[in-house]
Amino acid sequence: MDRRALLKTLLQELKDGVIVCDPEAKIILFNPAAEDLLSRHQSLSCGKSLYDLCCRPPVEHALNLLAFQLDTKSRSKPLPVVQFVNTSLSQEQFFRCRISFLPPLNAAKKSFVIIFEDISAWYSPDNPLFMKIEEFRAPMTNLRAAVENLTEYPEMSPVMRSAFENVLVQESLNLTGAYDSLARSCNVLLQTQNHLTELNTEVLFGYVAHHLRTRKIAVTASPKRSITVKVDIYGLLLLLDYLVGRINKMLQKKNKTGLTCEAHIADNFIYFDLIWPGKYLASGAVGAMQEEKLEQSLGGMTVSSILHAMDGDIWSQQHDNSQSVLRLVLPVSTKAGQ
């Protein structure tokens, strides 16, 4: 009880929303900032389930990754923390979350603490950055109209020509102002949009292999050096599940099997190669897949938007041995922690 009182006192001063949960995700403790962040939701009370406040799958994936990391690293090192994005059940609020286990770590089931930060301002569809981009539309339209008139009607009067030239000057200034405003918004966005978890490839490849093997997909990982990458772990697993499902559906129609995965490292990228016997996917099919919304994603994200958040890409190619590859590529984190 003394430790609980001390922890409660410390939590009072924190500005981020903090919730402490038991191994069954029942709320043990929370701070006033969590009440403010979650609009004093009726389910934010001791004994209630955390999953009455936010979506369950991202939290469970993060807890699974924490457990996997504990099994693969020395206990003398700092406790691992996983960062991810979650949403309220109504999907009206988006949160950047950080989650970690609480001692004792040798327990079969572990309590955990989760920290919430409201990121709805930049993660939601009415992102101010998108609204800034709309400021380009009017000056671009006016510039195009002025240029078309000046080039298509060379015989126009000097007065009319002067008027169109003034439009060019004025809209060029407006466009410059809109660009400067967009650049400032981008800088703010890049400083705040840090919701990816930093992992070394030994942990990442091992966790992805563990996940895919539960889906009967054999995985081989590169024995090369371990390097750092930044990933949305929940989004990545959703994405791999989707790609595996699409390929398996195609293979079953053709009575073929044999889908495997290879994870490996290049100089500046890491690759997850889904490999199968037979014809590869055409670029048009891969492009159509990128527009698909993933049902369990937060906010109905598409394949493309999940990839974009990690600066990733996918493409398909045919190997000489009559095997096809669907490659998911992610960049190496050249500035770890930034």
DSSP letter for each residue of 36-83: HHTTT-TT-STTSBGGGTB-HHHHHHHHHHHHHHHHHS-TTSPPP-EE
Share of the chain above pLDDT 70, in %: 82
Among residues 192, 225, 248, which one ends one of the domains? 192
Pairing of strands 17-21, 260-265: unpaired
Task: Say whether both 209 and 305 belong to one domain.
Answer: yes
End-to-end CA distance of the chain: 39
Cα–Cα nearest to 115, from 200, 185, 54 = 54
Task: Say whether both 246 and 287 belong to one domain.
Answer: yes
Task: Say whether both 146 and 171 belong to one domain.
Answer: yes
pLDDT value at residue 189: 55
Place of tokens 């093997």: 213
Is 169 a residue whose pLDDT tops 60? Answer: yes
Domain that holds residue 246: 197-331
Mean pLDDT of 126-140: 66
Q: Which residues pair with 112 in a beta bridge?
A: 21, 101
Share of the chain above pLDDT 90, in %: 25
What is the distance, to the nearest Å, from the Cα of residue 73 to the centroid of all Cα atoms in its chain?
Answer: 25
Mean pLDDT of 302-330: 85
The tens digit of pLDDT for each residue in 237-292 reads 999 999 999 888 888 766 566 889 999 998 788 999 999 987 878 888 888 888 88
The tens digit of pLDDT for each residue in 208-220 reads 999 999 888 989 9
The tens digit of pLDDT for each residue in 19-41 reads 999 999 999 989 888 998 888 78
Total domain count, the chain: 3
Assess contact for 70 and 101: CB atoms under 8 A: yes
132/78 Cα distance (integer angstroms): 41
Name the token pair of 130: 């998108």
Buried-exposed string 20-31: b where 16+ CB fall within 10 A, e elsewhere? bbbeebebbbbb
Task: Please check whether residue 309 lies inside any domain of the structure.
Answer: yes
Task: Please check whether residue 337 lies inside any domain of the structure.
Answer: no
Model pTM score:
0.66
313 compared with 78, residue with greater pLDDT: 313
Q: Torsion angle of alpha carbons 225, 226, 229, 235, nearest 10°?
A: 110
Task: Please check whether residue 313 lies inside any domain of the structure.
Answer: yes
pLDDT value at residue 18: 92
Helix or strand (DSSP H, E) at 326: strand 323-331
Among residues 164, 192, 220, which one ends one of the domains? 192
Task: Please check whether residue 94 lies inside any domain of the structure.
Answer: yes
Task: Say whether both 186 and 94 belong to one domain.
Answer: no
What is the distance, to the nearest Å, from the Cα of residue 91 to the centroid of all Cα atoms in its chain?
Answer: 16
For position 16, which CATH number holds?
3.30.450.20
